[in-house]
Amino acid sequence: MLNAIVDGLWREGDKSLAVRLVAENGDALPAWQPGAHIDVHLPCGVVRQYSLTGDCGEESYLICVGREAASRGGSRYVHETLRPGQRLSISAPRNLFPLHQAERVLLLAAGIGITPLYAMALHLKAIGTPFTLHYYVRSRESAAFARELSQCADCVIHTTSPRITLAEHLPAPEAGLHAWMCGPAGFMAKAREVAAAKGWDDAHIHSEAFQPVAPPAAGDAGEIFTVKLASTGERWPVPADKTIAQVLQENGVDVPLSCEMGICGACLTPVIDGVVDHRDSVQSDAEKSAANQQVALCCSRSHSRELVIGL
């Protein structure tokens, strides 16, 4: 954990608030790469994950928080209570959405999904990789970083519905072209649908969800199975109304948890044996079906009677 101070707060568009954080001791905060996020422990008692945005060469951190009508506490606290000079505990950056080597890059952002992609755009520009950023917003007034983006020839802000214009903006696939996308689940589903129709290879599309997967319906919480620690051979049943993480914690096992919604990756743990019922939205479909898999202990379950994990 790091102790940070709110060094600046300002509006980005009419729906978002930018927050600049500096280290309390005056040191540079740990280095990060575009796509990284931090956990922010808010004084209202909730922990939220926010993408780092802006220039990744800065010694301070910049996050941008959208105002959510149905806020579960984090957005409302940041918009209504957080003040400059306030102290916050934050985690070191964690990157589950990294930029990979690519000859050309397409960036697709919707709403507050602009935050990691704005950092990517600045980085790509700095290293000279050709890219185009399409940023979809309901109105020009709601766009974050509108002034900076309007000065970038490779960045376009759209107020048209992506459902209608994505097909026009998403080019045909090319060998060296990769896409990174971030936004609401519906936006990304549509973008993937359009890309698939154009023949894009799934491995060239990289995405990050800002919404947790829908929780299982009542009565669909899953069967009882057993979780076993590979290191000690200890095993415990996981009832339908508890997560693997809860069962492990009840038995004194230290589990790294953060979002507890399957969206941050803090609890991903290697699977040694068994068939995972993946319920997180952190991992790609390819990762969820790879030979070496990880399980999100906060939300995923098991299709097999026993799941052996690398703890």
The Cα angle at residue 27 between residues 56 and 33, in degrees rounded to 5? 20
Of 35 and 54, CB closest to ligand FES: 35
Question: DSSP secondary-structure letter at 180?
Answer: E
* 48 contacts: CB under 8 Å, gap ≥ 6: 39, 40, 42, 74, 259
Interface map 29-68 toward ligand FES (x if CB under 6 A):
----------------------------------------
DSSP 19-80: EEEEETTSSPPPP--TTEEEEEE-TTS-EEEEE-BS-TT-SSEEEEEE--TT--SHHHHHHH
Residue from 2, 29, 121, 282 that binds ligand FES (CB under 6 A)? 282
212 contacts ligand FES (rule: CB under 6 A): no
Q: Quote the distance between the C-alpha of residue 211 and its chain's center.
A: 9
Q: How far apart are CA 142 and CA 277, in angstroms?
A: 38
The Cα angle at residue 267 between residues 266 and 270, in degrees rounded to 5? 120
Of 141 and 250, CB closest to ligand FES: 250
Residue from 12, 39, 208, 260 that binds ligand FES (CB under 6 A)? 260
Decide: 274 and 308 in contact? Cβ < 8 Å. Answer: yes
266 contacts ligand FES (rule: CB under 6 A): yes
276 contacts ligand FES (rule: CB under 6 A): no
Q: How far apart are CA 237 and CA 225, in angstroms?
A: 6
296 contacts ligand FES (rule: CB under 6 A): yes
Of 79 and 278, CB closest to ligand FES: 278
Residue 6: both structure tokens together: 């709110």
User: CB under 6 A: which stretch of 4-12, 82-90, 225-233, 261-269 binds ligand FES?
Assistant: 261-269
258 contacts ligand FES (rule: CB under 6 A): yes
Residue from 120, 194, 267, 308 that binds ligand FES (CB under 6 A)? 267
Number of residues that bind ligand FES (CB under 6 A): 14
Q: How far apart are CA 38 and CA 1, in angstroms?
A: 10
262 contacts ligand FES (rule: CB under 6 A): yes
Residue 50: both structure tokens together: 């926010």
Least separation in angstroms between residue 265's CB and ligand FES is 5
Q: How far apart are CA 269 and CA 309, in angstroms?
A: 7
Residue from 52, 62, 155, 298 that binds ligand FES (CB under 6 A)? 298
Least separation in angstroms between residue 261's CB and ligand FES is 6
265 contacts ligand FES (rule: CB under 6 A): yes
Q: Which residues pair with 37 in a beta bridge?
A: 51, 94
Binding site for ligand FES (CB under 6 A): 257-260, 262-267, 280, 282, 296, 298
